[in-house]
Structure 1
């Protein structure tokens, strides 16, 4: 259930007959990559209180659980007008039952033993909910933006009008004053042609027609016509716009300035790359944004191109830094000679050019890219009496109504240019490539992942990363957490949490992975402690290791072999595994404690009764779930975290808060008395233990 919002905490209401069923549902969601905070409804009154006082994302309900009639469930949701999706979990699903619950207001009915289907339905409904929330937020922002724009239009010194089908639909006061009209009603139904001299009307008509076809931004110079029939020079700036929910054309006539020529020159200079004379990146992004807007609003298509000179570093070494300007200017001059009038060409990086053209399809764009590639390859460049030939890798990304962010289009063209070197016969570049969204790797199936894990274990190709933990109370000890990554053939890495929890990996294989991590991380720690004896390491263990009765004694042998003392490693497992295998976790922590090893419980606070689990375990540290950090800005969540930390501190446990990404979060956590913080604000996971703890004033 990985998605763009998978890091957001899922607030889940559960209506089940048994607590074990509720725990299984929480485990299903957390194993699929979602931080989940759940509440098990105990009665109808409890349900009423929960939906009235808190914001929830989803309800998973078994019919008649806790003696609550499903009709009453939906009645309360409708009474409070809550946008709260409900998924019914039934023993058997037949068409009549499905129709009954859908009419009540359920999103879907899923057989309770179909966990994969349930995951897909949850993913769909959370996506739908997120889209509805984004729409509501966007509507509020749109109304605010429209109010601001209207205010700016009315107070602008520039004359501004909007036309549709050649007719005025809005004009500001400056526009009325410029042409001598008293009231906007006087312009109603009047064509814009009447605002220019008769000798310019045909030209204006053709210019408007061309603009509607090609779009972009166009400046036109005509003679304006006042109500008293006097004429005056004006420059109209045309651009596409929307007014009162209607697509139209905006015309801006700039207020007169004594330095108009100078301003025009400065504007042109500010949009140019000084070396090549091409447009610069800000101007290119504006053009790309206009192309994307036309694609989304009007269905126009287009393409963007990322032109990257191959082996530019080698060229610099060959001709010298001072002479590379000749190379760049030669490429720029060739590209200028090869483009069309409607194209925008820019230099957006030291060795990168970018191009955008409206009204072009995939085949035409690739043909244009091939033309550019061939032309660049055949350039003979003179760089300070040295003859240089070069090649380029060119990536093409299509512009259509499927993407509304110009930055994404540029990123896609960049990825396509990088992909050239992965194409057969183009290892050194000199090729073209069309961006196509990467499909999920075919071997990332259950069997495929287990095979990759086995191969990585045999080859010892796992990667170990280390992330520091900072003690807010001051401590001479230095702490890191070991994180496991599995490299894949496409260059990406999969985290241990993803491949251990998201796929069916055998218990025996999980135990072997844990022992591999212990062996290799303690070896690296031993080497590190030769420079710093104060370093300690958190090592994560899977549920399979909790049930391994021989692990405690094996750990002793491993630490002795690495010449490490017993307090140098802290063994950590998560709350979900502890809750599911409580007896084994209790025995495991007791054994480690008896042998003077430290234990930590991670992802704490999201089970239905977290402190009940805690009573049975012998622990030294507790790391709360990252969902608490994500919601520090919410008073309700901050109060909950404060209460959780206070109870943990009363029990003499050291607390850790992960996923800290801002200074404001550090300030809040310091006030709450947490012992350790961890996250990208401190440092992302690194390949070695190289964090400078002295910078934190410890």
Structure 2
């Protein structure tokens, strides 16, 4: 059966006869060729409302090749582009051998216009590649839907199921966590599966078993062994392997079942462990949530009041770097003891690795809640924590939520407590050591809606501003690397300018983060393209949200933008928060590898703030690590300096360059040269500006 072949061809040029000649030549290969012809920006934007298969760019009244690529990316289109040029322009658009500067499945830059055979071949190949991508997208959608159904089944399964990648845990469901006494998903991520095997001989056998499976052998998919929990206790177990996918990436699924154990005894032990944190003896998250739900119902029924304190320890990443996991565990236990001593009549839980929650189950005023939180903050800050022969301290950021009969449901109240801590981090530039009470009047839904509408308008009408701050390269003694900052000016009497911290929560709620990230990428690269004509070594570092980390189209967007600005490796570095990378470890690893393959480099921001920073970096292999603020503060103290040097040394051993930011004064600058960081940045060098100023 013959399928009619159709090509929708869009030509941007000032010579319509040339475009019609292309159509005549292409008619030998297609049943029908639909031609769109234009030569200015306004017509292009209107025309892109229709679906095109290939765009050929020659000459236009008010458009450059880079402008066209930027507009296509703004529209989020997968549209192959072919750039044409005349003989006199060939020197700038072709390499030393006279070949086009870029040839791949989405762009050819640039062909000589009069070489019609090459142009026709390029159009045909780009169209064939596009058809394959469209078919692949359809298949990926089918796979994604299947994976979603499988994930739902696994999360609701009573069997202990986990996913591993290269022998490392990257996901586990609730029964799996309970079986091995893990408190949360964060605890199991990064743990080698062989750590759960008690016998040394079994470890060797399992490694062989896993290698055979990874090579494609399915003769043996079950493995019997003695398993070990985190508390050291053991049990006989059977492990089953299966190939699976997680977030679209291939992984290995493991299912572990206990063998020969009394089911009633197991159920009793699991039930007891479900609500207790093994490290502190306090209730864990599940125990807290059950108590919190009951408290909210009681407050509503009795027309009473109560309080929630969300206590996040600030510098655990730094303690982990200097004192290791023993230092972290000792700190957590010490703070748990402090809270238990201060709050004998309150309900205290270890909510997550570095967060405690406190429920005040009695009628209490807002002022009394704030006073209590302030006493807790001071007490934690004054507490000396002994780790073997060393002493450390920590501080806390405390979010406060008052609960009354008109309050929202428990999940919303918990989100408000988290939002209060986020407010502290923004106000203190991530230093913390403060309290903040959530005020519902400051977060009215009407305000959120208004801001969301303004964000949409800002994307469409380019209200955003882009700032650039130079980064000094110690190795090469130059400052042609710039970090990009996004700002949103408001049309109010105070000339308010919002930072991403102030509008990204609303953007997330209204699914605008990807569009904002895309706007930032395109417009920053437009300025980069202009500057690189004079300073071809200029590079950008651009912070993106977790939405872009999960965006499968990001690689294509980055690839086209890099080609449009010259295609040099390292011209563009994309940066993601360490917290987002940890939460999406497998996706991050795959995304980073794909971005590296198109000459895009990767940076992890706020590096060193999690317990497993080095392990995470080793797993996902970024090019750059931008340190968290904790490591730069109080650098004049010998202990802090040693911690910083140790972290940088470990990072450099992984062939990852380190960026030391927040250098604001001469004293910090004098020490910064000696710590081993390749890049230095801060207001001491230069403040962010609206233009890229290469010195």
Q: Which TM class, normalised by the smaller chain length?
A: 0.3 to 0.5
Give me the TM-score of the superposition, normalised by structure 1. 0.41
The higher radius of gyration belongs to 1
- TM-score (normalizing by structure 2): 0.42
